[in-house]
A = this chain, B = another copy of it.
Amino acid sequence: MEARSPKTIVLIGTLDTKGDEVKYARERIEERGHKTLVVDTGVLGQPSFEPEVSRERVAQAAGADLATLMAQRDTSTAVRTMMAGTTELVKQLYSEGRLDAIMSLGGGKGTAIATAAMRELPLGVPKVAVCTSASGDTRRYMGSKDIIMFPSITDIVGLNRVNRLMLDNAVGAIVGMVETDVEEPAQDKPVASVTALGITTPAAMKCKDRLEAQGYEVMVFHTTGVGGQAMEELIAEGVISGVMDLTTTELMSELLGSSFVAGPDRLEAAGRRGIPQLVGPGGLDMVAYAGRRAVPEEYTNRLLYDHTPALTVMRTNVEDNARAAGVMAEKLNCAKGPVTIAIPTKGFSAYDQEGELFWDPEADAAFVETVRQQVREPVQVVLVDAHINDDHFVDRAVQLFLE
């Protein structure tokens, strides 16, 4: 094994409350031959050692004064300020080539501050957040980014044999990642994205095969909220050059109070970049909730089906479909590039076909009617007399996309 050039791992923590633990991680990283750059985000007591980037500088980077901030004793302002400052400095360090990887350790607030900064870094830059809340809802920390949530198992207040073991492994992970030679893949093929849920997967897989046969590199995104969000971001970054957005159920999530949302900008990035879009109504027949209890009260009398105890799906009705069609039309009317909406008239998902629980031609028809009324030239609407998962629909959709 050859000696590698040392990399810089930015280490974020509150040196007033977790100074010993940050120091421990720093020493472990340095033992493995890499450099650290410590950013202090504490606003309570005194830092236990002097970091490369002081909390004063973090506050300054957010246009605030640390002494004033500490005197206010307002936790939420302090968190917001240190979050903004850390994010600013981390972006700066990265752009100056002084950040090869980033690691944090903290409780809820410390992790919120550090991961906000991590989310601004490109995919592939190693990001590790050690915290007690890795097992649970991680989306507020990760968003759609590649942040590794490393559980500390016990609280990070003083080192003990368990959290020390976790820190050892977390350091191992980030060191292993900075020592990875990421193969620069051949960038010659254009990238097309395809959206899917389990209930539209047959359509997506066929699409993928056909697009690959046409020379595309295909990325499939699961439209459970995070997936759609990740796709929108990759479109905005210019990674994706054509979209077969067959499964747009995240519009329903947004309209009907589901937590599986991709954000209000879903279905907009492609239009803004002017890349070709083929859009379908996959999964608009339903909206998914995180179990029965997550179904909003006004919908408890609707047709519900428990896919699993943690996943309840609801049949969307005529009104919902008209609303979703309106939103879709409005978004696509603003697109700068070519847009075709391809609609399978025999059902929008595996649930929505003759003989299945969510088969409801009237609701589907409401979507068709509204979308046709509301789209403007040059957006095209094409009806295909098939089910979304049928070969015939996919063939036609791919053909329309390639045109």
Quick one: which of B138, B143, B180, B205 contacts A138, CB cutoff 8 A? Answer: B138
In this complex, how many residues of chain A approach chain B with their Cβ under 8 Å: the count is 79
Q: How many copies does the complex hold?
A: 2
Q: What is the chain B residue whose CB lies nearest that of A230?
A: B153
A154 touching B226, Cβ below 8 Å: no
A150-165 interface with B by 8 A CB criterion:
150-151, 153-155, 157-158, 160-165
Q: In the assembly, what is the distance between CA of A239 and CA of B164, in Å? A: 14
**Min distance, Cβ A331 to any Cβ of chain B, angstroms:** 22
Taking CB atoms, residues of chain B closer than 8 Å to A133 are: 224, 226
A162 touching B239, Cβ below 8 Å: yes
Q: In the assembly, what is the distance between CA of A151 and CA of B139, in Å? A: 11
Q: What is the chain B residue whose CB lies nearest that of A234?
A: B162
**Min distance, Cβ A20 to any Cβ of chain B, angstroms:** 12
Overall SS of chain A's interface: mixed
Q: In the assembly, what is the distance between CA of A208 and CA of B230, in Å? A: 43
A155 touching B123, Cβ below 8 Å: no
Known A142-B134, A153-B123; contact A168-B183, beta-carbon cutoff 8 A: yes
Taking CB atoms, residues of chain B closer than 8 Å to A136 are: 137-139, 224-226
Q: Is A177 an interface residue (CB 8 A)?
A: yes
**Min distance, Cβ A284 to any Cβ of chain B, angstroms:** 20
Quick one: which of B132, B134, B176, B219 contacts A177, CB cutoff 8 A? Answer: B176
Q: What is the chain B residue whose CB lies nearest that of A153?
A: B230
**Min distance, Cβ A330 to any Cβ of chain B, angstroms:** 27
Quick one: which of B150, B175, B187, B227 contacts A176, CB cutoff 8 A? Answer: B175
B191 touching A168, Cβ below 8 Å: no
Q: In the assembly, what is the distance between CA of A178 and CA of B175, in Å? A: 11
Interface flags for A229-243 (1: CB within 8 Å of B; 0: not) read 011001000010000
**Min distance, Cβ A62 to any Cβ of chain B, angstroms:** 21
A173 touching B162, Cβ below 8 Å: no
A142 touching B151, Cβ below 8 Å: yes
Q: Is A172 an interface residue (CB 8 A)?
A: yes
**Min distance, Cβ A285 to any Cβ of chain B, angstroms:** 21
Q: Is A293 an interface residue (CB 8 A)?
A: yes
**Min distance, Cβ A13 to any Cβ of chain B, angstroms:** 17
Taking CB atoms, residues of chain B closer than 8 Å to A358 are: none
Quick one: which of B166, B217, B290 contacts A137, CB cutoff 8 A? Answer: B290
Known A137-B136, A155-B222, A293-B294; contact A169-B162, beta-carbon cutoff 8 A: no
B126 touching A135, Cβ below 8 Å: no
**Min distance, Cβ A44 to any Cβ of chain B, angstroms:** 12
Q: In the assembly, what is the distance between CA of A196 and CA of B162, in Å? A: 17
Taking CB atoms, residues of chain B closer than 8 Å to A140 are: 310
Q: Is A343 an interface residue (CB 8 A)?
A: no
Q: In the assembly, what is the distance between CA of A157 and CA of B162, in Å? A: 36
Taking CB atoms, residues of chain B closer than 8 Å to A231 are: 154
Can you list 12 A-B contacts with CB-CB less than 8 angstroms, sorted by A residue number? Answer: A124-B165, A134-B138, A136-B226, A137-B138, A146-B150, A146-B169, A148-B149, A154-B220, A154-B227, A161-B187, A161-B217, A293-B294
A132-B226, A148-B173, A176-B179 known; 11 new pairs, CB 8 Å cut-off, are: A135-B139, A146-B151, A147-B151, A149-B149, A154-B231, A157-B208, A162-B219, A164-B183, A168-B180, A172-B178, A172-B179
Which residues of A are in contact with B by a Cβ distance under 8 Å?
1-3, 33, 123-124, 126, 132-140, 142-151, 153-155, 157-158, 160-166, 168-169, 171-180, 182-183, 185, 187, 191, 193, 196, 205, 208, 212, 217-222, 224-227, 230-231, 234, 239, 290, 293-294, 296, 310
